[in-house]
A and B are shown apart, each in its own frame.
Chain A
Amino acid sequence: MRKRGGAIMMEMLFYIAAAVALLATVLALSRANAAHALIYLIVSLLAVAVVFFLMGAPFAAALEIVIYAGAIMVLFVFVIMMLNVGREGTAREREWLGGRNWIAPGILSALLLLELMLALRHAPAVTSGVAVTPKEVGLTLFGPYVLAVEIASMLLLAGLVGAYHLGRRFIVRRERRR
């Protein structure tokens, strides 16, 4: 019974988190102001982290918060601050967001969603299992996936070099302007 009660509670928690994630995402993508949108996005990511946690993936949940919500979103914040997208930009965004623009994308998304749901109709039922501990993740990561780590490092190197090359010019120009 306890277990069942726990399950129900978990389920409730999941629904709440899911609702929050969804709502925050929708809000994030429909905001005119980029900074506001970003906050909503972070909320969404946090909610997803909760879902991770509920699914027994605490390591993933932690990374979600630390790297996704933390590091990556901060990059966005930097850029938004740097570009100083002003009030006009916000106003323009708001203008664009209204009316007809929604129709075709809305229909398409709805269709896609419908199709996904149709496909997931027969998805496997509830299973109960054991959580995957961070240790296990770590062992696997540096076991079979050790080469993935290496390649990922190269990937980050590529991102680094690319970002450097693209961003550098902006910075150089700015400095020159001053």
Chain B
Amino acid sequence: MGGLQIPMEQVLALAGLLFSCGLLGLMLRRNIIFMLMSLEVMLNAAALAFVAAGAKWQQADGQIIFLLILSVAAAEVAVGLGLVLQIQRRFKTLDMDQARRLRG
């Protein structure tokens, strides 16, 4: 198995693309579940960038950070989905545009 055989800037570009997609989703979607998904995409993009960088420097650190991001994502999603349940119960909708009692 070879090392990094792929132009790194292209991997990073892919990561950037995915990151932008995630942000786009965040800005676009009202459904909190989709927002969480966008978040996952963004975290994933960051993880991809780390792994690519790690591969470039032939270090394990990149993958370890990926691992940590993974656990972060898991924890966030766990709490996030718990919130989703509550939101559905209390607001009777997942539409975050409806949840704007706090403003001004």
Contact = CB atoms under 8 A, between A and B. Distances in A.
Interface of A: 3, 6-7, 10-11, 14, 18, 21-22, 25-26, 28-29, 34, 37-38, 41, 44-45, 48, 51-52, 54-60, 63-64, 67-68, 71-72, 75-76, 78-80, 82-83, 85, 89, 92-93, 96-97, 101-102, 104-106, 108-110, 112-113, 116-117, 120, 123-132, 136-137, 139-141, 145, 148, 152, 155-156, 158-160, 162-167, 169-170, 173
B14 to A, nearest CB: 5
B14 A82 contact: no
Contact of B81 (A57, A68, A75, A158): A75
Contacts, number: 265
B78 A105 contact: no
B3 A59 contact: no
A131 B1 contact: yes
Contacts of B73: 68, 72
Interface of B: 1-14, 16-25, 27-31, 33-34, 36-38, 40-41, 44, 47-48, 51-52, 54-56, 58-64, 66-68, 70-79, 81-86, 88-89, 94-95
A170 B52 contact: no
Given A29-B25, A110-B20, A165-B82, 8 more contacts: A6-B2, A10-B5, A10-B6, A14-B6, A128-B4, A129-B2, A158-B75, A160-B75
Q: Decide if the interface of chain A is mainly helix, strand, loop or mixed.
A: helix
Given A51-B11, A63-B70, A155 B75 contact: yes
Given A57-B55, A83-B94, A123-B9, A163 B78 contact: yes
5 contacts: A93-B34, A116-B19, A159-B78, A162-B78, A166-B85
